[in-house]
Amino acid sequence: MVLVKTSERVGRVPPSGIRKFFELAEEREDVISLGVGEPDFSAPWAARDAAIASLERGQTSYTANRGMRELREAIADHCADRYDLDYDPGEEVLVTTGVSEGVDVALRALVDPGDRVAMVDPSYVSYRPGVLLADGEPLPVRTREEEHFRLTYDALQRAGASEADLLILCYPNNPTGAVMREEHLEPVAEFCREHDLRVLSDEIYADLTYEGEHTSIATLDGMRERTIVFNGFSKAYAMTGLRLGYALGPAEGISAMNRIHQYSMLSAPTTAQHAALEALESCEEDVEEMVRAFNRRRRFVLSRFSEMGLDCFEAKGAFYVFPEVPGNDGTFAEGLLEEQGVAVVPGSVFGGAGEGHLRISYASGLPQLKEAMNRMEAFLA
């Protein structure tokens, strides 16, 4: 007898496509996983130490809904310095429990039933469920390897995004590692201005941009007033488990998001907020060092793929590369795991445009990457 009746809404959300690979990988002992979406580093010690110190001082209460004032100020300063993003810490910054919560409350705050939400395909797995849970209609916009998986004006046009209300951008991109420089963002911004699209820009991998600087779409003409920018501490500061992110946007948008956040979350984890404050104040060098390490691994992996004859565009962001593989990506990934004990995530998990590709995470030490590449080479032979 079914005692619990679940909602029609939750029924709309499909189970995670990654689950299967997680279970297969967990069954084996000798697996090298290139399927991990988080850094292998630990958070910088100074940030961890600040978290511990805050606990020792007994700072275990709630903070302001929007996050500690001091942290919001530090975030605003950091974003102004680093990304040219100017936001008022009083009205335009919301500290969230990871970017995931930020995107979720933004969707619930900005989407009306039936609103169309365009999103880059392939991209991170939570946008589509987020839109469905907010009663919106997901509209995937396919990107192509020939265009380095960048979103283009034509792709938006082709997908019918002129009818959309909202666009979710994610660059540097998970799973492709694609980046969009200012010249690539400008046509997208033009499309958004022409068709009055609001933008949710998930920039969690911004600091992991190689060979050049990250540009936020919110810095382009006429975009600030229609964009919510998301960033956080998970990737660049290796703080995934501390669950801390932030959203920047026009006061009305942030205030609407805060209305949901104050009831559902109350405030982001206090201990993590203390760690984040310290991270912004003193961990810049740790971040730079991690970024350089990621970049060496990126070059290593790309160069091994080219040696083994796997087609792979030169990803310049995040810690993923997205090679094309023969045949079905799911079958390939299962075979690779069974025969060689290397876990990866099939590209199709991230959307139809990811089919035929694998997401390879290089957030692992070089010795592991080296061994994994040798095993992949053996699998392909």
- Chain contacts with another protein (rule: CB under 8 A): 16, 18, 21-22, 25-26, 31, 33, 35-38, 40, 124-126, 174, 292-293, 296-297, 299-300, 303-304, 343, 345, 349, 364, 366, 370
Q: How far apart are CA 217 and CA 45, in angstroms?
A: 32
Q: How far apart are CA 184 and CA 56, in angstroms?
A: 48
Is 153 or 300 the residue whose CB approaches another protein more closely? 300
Least separation, in Å, of the C-beta of 88 and another protein?
33
Which residues, other chains included, contact 153 with Cβ-Cβ below 8 Å and sequence gap of 6+? 187, 188, 190, 191
First vs last Cα of the chain: how many Å apart?
52
Least separation, in Å, of the C-beta of 291 and another protein?
10
CB environment 289-326: b (16+ within 10 A), e (fewer):
ebeebbbebbeebbebbeebebebbebbbbbbbbbbbe
Q: Write the burial class of residue 94 (CB in 10 Å: 0-12 exposed, 13-18 middle, 19+ buried).
A: buried
Strand, helix or coil for residue 15: coil
Least separation, in Å, of the C-beta of 313 and another protein?
16
Is 39 or 67 the residue whose CB approaches another protein more closely? 39
Least separation, in Å, of the C-beta of 158 and another protein?
27
Q: How far apart are CA 319 and CA 240, in angstroms?
A: 14
Is 223 or 318 the residue whose CB approaches another protein more closely? 318
Compute the Cα dihedral for 95, 179, 175, 113 and give only its sign.
positive
Least separation, in Å, of the C-beta of 149 and another protein?
17
Q: How far apart are CA 299 and CA 331, in angstroms?
A: 27
Is 93 or 301 the residue whose CB approaches another protein more closely? 301
Least separation, in Å, of the C-beta of 324 and another protein?
20
Least separation, in Å, of the C-beta of 33 and another protein?
4
Is 31 or 64 the residue whose CB approaches another protein more closely? 31
Is 80 or 366 the residue whose CB approaches another protein more closely? 366
Is 38 or 135 the residue whose CB approaches another protein more closely? 38
Nearest CA among 212, 160, 111, 175 for reference residue 185: 212
Is 160 or 212 the residue whose CB approaches another protein more closely? 212
Q: How far apart are CA 226 and CA 298, in angstroms?
A: 34
Q: Write the burial class of residue 34 (CB in 10 Å: 0-12 exposed, 13-18 middle, 19+ buried).
A: buried
Least separation, in Å, of the C-beta of 289 and another protein?
8
Which contiguous run of DSSP H or E holds residue 230? strand 227-232
Least separation, in Å, of the C-beta of 25 and another protein?
4
Is 68 or 170 the residue whose CB approaches another protein more closely? 170
Which tokens hold the place of 353? 């445009």
Residue 358 region, left (φ>0) first, then alpha (ψ -120 to 50), else beta? beta
Is 144 or 299 the residue whose CB approaches another protein more closely? 299
Which tokens hold the place of 215? 């540009």
Q: How far apart are CA 362 and CA 184, in angstroms?
A: 25
Least separation, in Å, of the C-beta of 93 and another protein?
26
